[in-house]
Structure 1
């Protein structure tokens, strides 16, 4: 198990809640990636090289969402707490003119970030994300609170040792159209299976998920001046296209691009196209 070398060398930054591991490669205007639940920086392994080649400094952290390697037992892992953690990451590394690229749960955190702490952000890409009432999406709405019961999360993760379950709708079947490599599934699933501290972080986040946070963020969308690219799979199983149209309608500077042959995890199913769309968007909205 390990993070792809395509993301650049591993580094650590010390934040008020503890250490966060991230990978960095390239130079130029910064792009910071925000992944979702039970994945890590490996999600971006086939997106980052194209962005680095296009002149971007790419920073891919392992956010404490269940596939991270450094526990954060003292962190506020509510959605708003995590949004503030991302803001602190930008502050401590003194990143400016940042493009945030978010997917899945990471998109909900990014909506909180851009409505709470937008000062360092120049552009945002929301690629198939939780938003509005859909946080979490329906298949997981009953499962997330159950994570708080003793043994439930450990048992669920233990079942993922079997490849057919990993690829089923009990595993990654809802979010990826094309099968994941075994080593990538290991990268995503083994940290929480092996570490009680990582499971504890995951549990704390899962039980705190509430769409009141995304609905509150949406109430502030009208004042968001940041250009936003909304990228949405036409075949998404979790997030209907209606959500993408609502985002574009409510965010004053948002545009929509649709993608075929993909489910929610666009960086897995269509990484080359996603990278192309991001580069096009950053060039269109480059700083003068």
Structure 2
């Protein structure tokens, strides 16, 4: 399924995006190693429930531009999120964000609290939780010479990692697995993956805001797969203790890509949360 439908030029770069539905705006920010495909079983239901849903591929990810001379770190993607909202004429928004998208959401909400109605973070990176041990090993072994990696070796590496994102590994197979691998099926795709994603797996971006999380005053809901192998549940509990009045929802039988293991539950939590009065 192709979720994204259009392209948007913001701050001199092209982002693939989707802007559908009527009503209160909510923006979806995906994680890594991923793209907006992860929201395919979620976003249409949010649109149908009466919300304006905006979904986009981060710069350097999926169908968006892969520039050779632009910072694609969490900090830079946070700045770009502001440009996206401005370009779409959205002054106030609810944010639903996964993985590194969660770090982007946290940083944006702290920098622009007056613009964020609600913040939902799903299996987010936080504190010193990232990169995971398996990603750190990949960084140590491959980041210096990834340009010489054959396609088969790259696919095997990424498949091993993607299989870890779900509690039921039969869900990360066939067409679904291919959709996650698709953006990287070329030399440019492989280089982009390491340069735009892996090179920026850096907990500095979350550690430097860890003592500010108590300043978040908008409604916050934390949704977490109980069996997340990359972001263990104790980080979700730490976040919920640090953020005033945050709700913590633990989804049993789900891993890091909780929207793959339990899409109906994710849809339910989002719609329920969007019904929470802001501020």
Change in CA separation of 1:143 and 1:99 when aligned onto 2, cut-off 3 Å: same
Shift in alpha-carbon separation, 1:153–1:26, aligned structure 2, 3 A: farther
Change (3 A) 1:208 1:56: same
Q: Secondary structure at the match of 1:203?
A: helix
Q: Spell out the pairing of 1:11-30 with structure 2 (5 A cutoff).
A: 11-30=6-25
| Equivalence for 1:183 | 175
Which position in structure 2 is the counterpart of 1:135? 130
Q: Which residue of 1 aligns with 2:230?
A: 238
Residues 43 and 260 (structure 1), Cα distance of their counterparts in 2 relative to 1, 3 Å cut: same
Where 2:127 maps in the other structure, the secondary structure is coil
Q: Is the 8 A contact 1:47 1:275 kept in 2?
A: yes
Output the CA distance in 1 between the equivalents of 2:126 and 2:36.
22
Give the secondary structure class of the aligned counterpart of 1:89: helix
**Structure 1 273/56 Cα, relative in aligned 2: closer, same or farther at 3 Å?**
same
1:224 lines up with 2:216 in the alignment: yes
Q: What is the aligned-residue RMSD (CA, Å)? A: 2.3
Aligned residues: 277
Describe the shift of the 1:211–1:25 C-alpha distance in structure 2 as closer, same or farther (beyond 3 A): same
257-266 vs 105-114, which moves further: 105-114
Match of 1:96 in 2: 91
Which deviates further from its counterpart, 195-204 or 250-259? 195-204
TM-aligned CA distance change 1:72 to 1:65, over 3 Å? closer
* Displacement of 1:16: 1.2
Pick from 132, 153, 157: which aligns with 1:159? Answer: 153
DSSP 3-state at the match of 2:185? helix
What corresponds to 2:192 in structure 1? 200
Cα contact 1:147–1:153 (8 A) shared by 2: no
Work out the CA distance in 2 between the residues paired with 1:63 and 1:101: 14
Between the aligned partners of 1:17 and 1:157, the Cα distance in structure 2 is: 31
- Cα 1:67–1:156 change in 2 (3 A) is farther
SS at match of 2:208: helix
Please list every run of 5 or more consecutive structure 2 residues that lacks an aligned counterpart in the other structure.
none
Where structure 1 has 5 or more consecutive residues not aligned to the other structure, the ranges are: none
After superposition, residues 47-66 of structure 1 pair within 5 angstroms as: 47-64=42-59, 66=61
Asked if the contact 1:147–1:206 (Cα under 8 Å) also holds between the matched residues in 2, the reply is no
Shift of 1:144: 3.2
Is the alpha carbon distance of 1:111 and 1:135 closer, same or farther for their aligned partners in structure 2, counting shifts above 3 Å?
Answer: farther
C-alpha displacement at 1:158, in angstroms? 3.2
- Does residue 109 of structure 1 match 2:104? yes
Q: Is the 8 A contact 2:224 2:233 kept in 1?
A: yes
- Say if 1:214 and 1:45 are closer, same or farther in 2 by CA, change over 3 A: same
- Would you say 1:271 and 2:263 are equivalent positions? yes
Q: Tell me by how many angstroms 1:95 deviates.
A: 1.3
What's the CA shift string for 1:111-135, capped at 9, x where partnerless? 2222223332111111111101112
**In 2 relative to 1, CA 241–65 (structure 1 residues): closer, same or farther, beyond 3 Å?**
farther
Counterpart secondary structure, 1:129:
coil
CA distance in 2, matches of 1:77, 1:182: 29
Change (3 A) 1:204 1:42: closer
